Structure 1
Amino acid sequence: MFSNIELIISVVSVVLALSALVFIIDWRYFRDWVVVFLYKCVLDSLWGAAVINTGRIEFPYRQFPQLYKISLLFDFWIFPILCLLYNQITRERGIWPILYYAVLFSAGMTAIEYPLELYTDLIEYHTWSWFTTFYTLTITFLSSRAFIAFYRWGCDHFTPKRGKA
């Protein structure tokens, strides 16, 4: 049914994501990164479930297949960590780099996902395409950036200032 390639790709993905989490993420912004990570998990679980339940994508090889139709590895580990990297890179940048990096990250992820769809059982497109993956990833990267900007604004705006009565 499944070859060892799906398991190897999954294990390598977990190790690479964990390595990025430990060695690349700047943990001085822990509060922001936890918010981004949880935002991405919620967004991906809602959006992913909708896409899968409408039959657009299928994940034949997945964790806990008797319980979940989504790819837990991608939706709750790989994509949220990549989103942390994206938000870290764009943290102090203007609108054009934010857009550029969203497109760059999405193009890279699409360039990896499309061959996985063609040659493995990790993902199957039904009424989906590589271009749909590309623009939905771009939108979700940008939405995470907008969400963390809103979160930071809210923290600054609603936190009582010291020394004022």
Structure 2
Amino acid sequence: MSVSLQYGFLGVVYLIGIAGFAAVPAHRRREAHAVFLFQNMLAWFLGLIAVEAGWLIYPVRELAKSSSTSFLFEYLCYPVVAVYYNFFYPEKGSARAKLGWTALFAFGITIPELLIEAYTDLVRYTGWKWYWTTISVGLTLAVSRLFFVWFFGPHRVSVSGKR
């Protein structure tokens, strides 16, 4: 895939990420901002560790002179995914439903990343394996859920918008 097509792909993903964040209902924006920023901090920190350790490289990336990580993934896409993970989390579901929800999101990020790694120069695994993505995404989403419950308390707004 040519570099220009890869940057075009990044542009489309930016539009999807921005649209996903813009689609948050007005009455949920405070929650969305808190989760977004929290997940942004986690992804940035852990992403830097993975890149600096040499486990991942991003040959084609935006802001190449500023950061060796993927700005799009660490700062936009993954935090937006975490917002929706928390908004629709099966709070009253069984432990199996909660684990399934987390696995759905973890694999929902891992599978596209594997395709991107195989067919583009946007990410390269050097010492990384697909299961590390699945595990790290699952764990950081679970941590974002703990943050969400701690920050907003037991009387937070539900999916329907009612208290």
Same fold flag (TM > 0.5): yes
- Taking the TM superposition and a 5 Å limit, the aligned residue runs for 1:120-135 are 120-135=120-135
- In the TM superposition, what whole-angstrom CA distance separates every residue of 1:10-64 from its partner, at most 9, and x where no partner exists? 11111111222223x2331222211111101111111111111000001111111
- 1:61 is paired with a residue whose SS is coil
- Taking the TM superposition and a 5 Å limit, the aligned residue runs for 1:59-74 are 59-74=58-73
Who is 2:55 aligned against?
56
Q: Which runs of 5+ in 1 are unaligned?
A: 157-165
Tell which deviates more after alignment, 13-22 or 75-84: 13-22
Residues 110 and 130, structure 1, Cα contact 8 Å, conserved in 2: yes
Tell which deviates more after alignment, 93-102 or 103-112: 93-102
* Distance across 2 between alignment mates of 1:72 and 1:117: 16
Q: Which runs of 5+ in 2 are unaligned?
A: 157-163
- Taking the TM superposition and a 5 Å limit, the aligned residue runs for 1:1-165 are 3-23=3-23, 25-90=24-89, 92-94=91-93, 95-153=95-153
Q: How much has 1:106 moved relative to structure 2?
A: 1.1
* Distance across 2 between alignment mates of 1:154 and 1:52: 37
Q: Percent identity?
A: 25
* Distance across 2 between alignment mates of 1:114 and 1:9: 15
Q: How much has 1:2 moved relative to structure 2?
A: 5.0
Q: How much has 1:147 moved relative to structure 2?
A: 0.8
Larger Rg: 1
TM-score normalised by length of structure 1: 0.85
TM-score normalised by length of structure 2: 0.86
